[in-house]
Amino acid sequence: MKSIITVLLLAWTLQATDLRSNPKVRHFIHEMIKVHNIKPSYFESLFANVTLQEVPLKILKGVRSKGKKPSKILQKRYPYHGAWDRYKALKVTPLRAKQGATFIRKYRTAFQNEERVYGVPKEIIAALIGIESVYGKNVGKYPVFDTLATLAFKKNRRNRFYQKELEALILFCIRNKIDIRQIKSSHFGAIGLGQFMPSNYEYYGVDFNHDGMIRMQNPVDAIGSIANYLKKNGWRKGEPIAIRAYYKGERFHKYKTGYTKLYTLQKLKGIRPRGEWNYHGKVRLIKLDRAKFDELWIVARNFRVITRYNHSAYYAMSVFQLSREIVKELRNASKK
């Protein structure tokens, strides 16, 4: 019975709809023609046949976070504490580190050029691509135009945001001579190896292989575009990212942790870095909830830059820790 319902729901979900009579769609088309001088026929063919995507709408209404959920085994293992243990088990794995090292070796020239132009360590770029799309294996399966059109014009709390993204997508495809119907995306319209939203391609996309086009699925363009994104958001070449900290006790409550509070290291009494820390700017404290204790980290400006990609401190820490595992894999391979 369940399988029959699933099939019927899928068939209903994939039914094509003509959105041209929708007043908001008509206004959108009118503004696009007026502001960008696009032929009306372009929009007629697009909006006459939209396959509404109900899955992202349901997620927006019920679940604000995205991504793979921890398994029941992990949830059972860490029922009260251990949120970081669960998160890390999904994001920072030996397999993903090996894949990252292989990816760097395969695109060695692109990474060398990226480090020369933008100054972002190759392992950070590789870790981001690994977490976002598993090095291109998980770039999304949803038609991006239908997804963004659904989110832009079917009632939800982010209609205005997705109308802007739909506008950026259309302009990007026209400029780069891309068939908009051929692009796949995530639930929410993120595209390519770096899972950029369309507006990010407009501001940060780079034709890094110099073929005259910015291709969202092209690894070399993805490497350059992510590096450009981080650089424009404040990445500083040669500065550290984070270091584990000593403190007394098992659970940390002495100072406020997170992004909103900045400290000078000298004023953090009872806290010291576990190793050499050559950084003289103000720092933040990030607390990771583990099963039996809190893991405390001192983080610098470059860590905050990673959070521009995703605001979660756990996300940024997973990028940082995966990048370190990738470096280990590269070193081990060079010794063989």
- Please list, residue by residue across 147-165, b when 16 or more beta carbons sit within 10 angstroms of its beta carbon and e when fewer do: bbbbbbbbebeeeeebbeb
Instruction: Report the distance separating Cα 247 and Cα 295, nearest Å.
Output: 9
Residue type, 2: K
Instruction: Report the distance separating Cα 22 and Cα 24, nearest Å.
Output: 6
Q: Structural domains in the chain?
A: 16-63+138-232 (1.10.8.350)
Model pLDDT, residue 2: 45
Model pLDDT, residue 65: 46
CB atoms under 10 Å from CB of 197, counted, come to 20
Q: Are the beta carbons of 257 and 84 closer than 8 angstroms?
A: no
Q: Are the beta carbons of 165 and 148 closer than 8 angstroms?
A: yes
Instruction: Report the distance separating Cα 87 and Cα 79, nearest Å.
Output: 13
Instruction: Report the distance separating Cα 157 and Cα 5, nearest Å.
Output: 28
What sign does the CA torsion over 302, 308, 309, 313 have?
Answer: positive
Show the tokens assigned to 139: 């770039």
Q: Pseudo-torsion of CA 296, 299, 304, 305, nearest 10°?
A: -130
Model pLDDT, residue 30: 95
Show the tokens assigned to 222: 């993805």
Q: Are the beta carbons of 294 and 85 closer than 8 angstroms?
A: no
**pLDDT tens series, the chain, 336 aa:** 444 444 444 444 456 789 999 999 999 999 999 999 999 999 988 999 899 888 777 877 765 444 556 666 666 665 667 899 999 999 999 999 999 999 999 999 999 999 999 999 999 999 999 999 999 999 999 999 999 999 999 988 899 999 999 999 999 999 888 899 999 999 899 999 999 999 998 899 999 999 998 888 899 999 999 999 999 999 999 999 999 999 999 999 999 999 889 999 999 999 999 999 999 999 999 999 999 999 999 999 999 999 999 999 999 999 999 999 999 999 988 776
DSSP 248: S
Model pLDDT, residue 157: 87
Tell me if the pTM is above 0.95: no
Instruction: Please give the full DSSP string across 190-208, using - where no structure is assigned.
Output: -BTTTTB-HHHHHHH---T
- Indicate the burial class of 95 (C-beta count within 10 angstroms; 0-12, 13-18, 19 or more): exposed
